[in-house]
Structure 1
């Protein structure tokens, strides 16, 4: 096995080992395990890729299913399961520690990568291959309305996806029995492999408007967002959010970056059931 794949394999093995221990450590006095699901769709307007000066509009389905500490979901859907902001993210996840102050978990997800056909600005660039990512996350409750969370995500199968880490501060407040407003700000980082894959330009992809560029490890972006979610009925949930991000360091200096400051917005509707 190539040496470059060993860290990914170790992370994958750790995910299953720790998840198994966590499941065995469930409270034996709890006879009922919560099962919930959500189905819906969202309409999103966002840059074609981070740093793009062109925008795209996409209508996407969203769904999630949770059984006890185990969950599988698409992007955005996991947070619709409950009003609380959710650090687990998309994919298959297991909550390893779930307390009043700390939440710690692990997740797996397929990363779809990036195609040179996603934007005319990527013409001639090598495609970023699909891969499997492993992710560890932790969230610390600072008070009734504040939480601090962090995560590390690693390409597990050696497809040059590299590693990404993030640190975020979130705030949430209820505007009534059915509505919640949440906001957050954070910063993300990439290792040299990740940064060069997404922001580097190899010699074979040089054009008159694009020079060769090698991106190194460092900060990727600083980002912030605001979201509102409301229960239209006991089962139907409507939500909307807006966000902005600013690329930093080599991500901002890359010839692929046409606009270092990007923004996005989405609205959606989902059916949520059941809480027991």
Structure 2
């Protein structure tokens, strides 16, 4: 082991326990899904996000530190149901040491050592040997504010919270996989609970080009629906809006695709596109002015592995 690698390893071993707890602060995602991280129109209930971006199965290897830094340009709706859009340049950050990972919400460009994309926030790979892939993660959910879109003026904000997520995937074939995930507000700030079911396909077109496709459906409980798609009678009376108190149900369906080019061992370029359609109680919300939503992102990531 080189002297530089030993210093990096010792430093990382000291700070990792703290980083694992603070890691969700790297997740800039709001409840509306970032481009490339979601296809179904729900934050964590985006089904095809899992299929296109998460590892299909774990591959045991000696632990080493992988760092990833980049930028991504994305366009997406300001919130799910809005006809208005935002286009922003955002950072892509990732750290991986063995089964432990930290990554920004633009995780479609942040690959694990096995080649699949990481979960956003702080996550741990719990996968056994075989076709199953199991993960647990924490991330910051920034909620939603009235200033995010003119259509939200006068509505109460959805407070920032910490989300916990568990997900499982099964490799049906080397190319096909199916998955499920569950995400919930751990601080009880009315963020609610989201679920997803999905199927995904991935292939290496060439040794340098990887193509993914995915599709699935998302579900949400009544708390999530009322926070993001509802208008309470009190707020309706104060803002001259129509009251709407939705229940639990399907939240959306969606498809996504991604293309990654490993330009060199140190550089990777990628692009993702997603299309989603709101379903269930969200469709009838007065806040839903656009049932269909789409997002696109393009970015570049620099990768450095610190091996023995």
SS of residue paired to 2:127: strand
Q: Which runs of 5+ in 1 are unaligned?
A: 1-15, 17-29
2:283 to 237, 241, 252: 252
| RMSD over aligned Cα atoms | 1.8
SS of residue paired to 1:197: helix
Q: 1 or 2, which has the higher strand percentage?
A: 1
With over 3 angstroms needed to count, the CA separation of the structure-2 counterparts of 1:144 and 1:191, relative to structure 1, is same
SS of residue paired to 2:231: coil
Q: Which runs of 5+ in 2 are unaligned?
A: 1-20, 22-59
Equivalent residue number for residue 131 of structure 1: 161
Equivalent residue number for residue 220 of structure 1: 251
Equivalent residue number for residue 23 of structure 1: none
Q: Is the 8 A contact 1:76 1:89 kept in 2?
A: no
Matched, 1:232 2:263: yes
> Could you tell me the TM-score, scaled by structure 2's length?
0.76
Equivalent residue number for residue 243 of structure 1: 274
SS of residue paired to 2:299: strand
In 2, the alpha carbon distance for the partners of 1:111 and 1:128 equals: 10
Matched, 1:149 2:179: yes
Equivalent residue number for residue 16 of structure 2: none
Larger relative contact order (CA 8 Å, sep ≥ 6): 2
Equivalent residue number for residue 303 of structure 2: 272
1:79 is displaced (CA, Å) by 5.0
Q: Is the 8 A contact 1:45 1:57 kept in 2?
A: yes
1:37 is displaced (CA, Å) by 1.5
Structure 1: 4+ residue segments shifted above 4 A: none
SS of residue paired to 2:189: coil
Matched, 1:52 2:82: yes
> Could you tell me the TM-score, scaled by structure 1's length?
0.85
In 1, the alpha carbon distance for the partners of 2:83 and 2:61 equals: 53
1:233 is displaced (CA, Å) by 1.7
Equivalent residue number for residue 39 of structure 2: none
1:91 to 121, 141, 148: 121
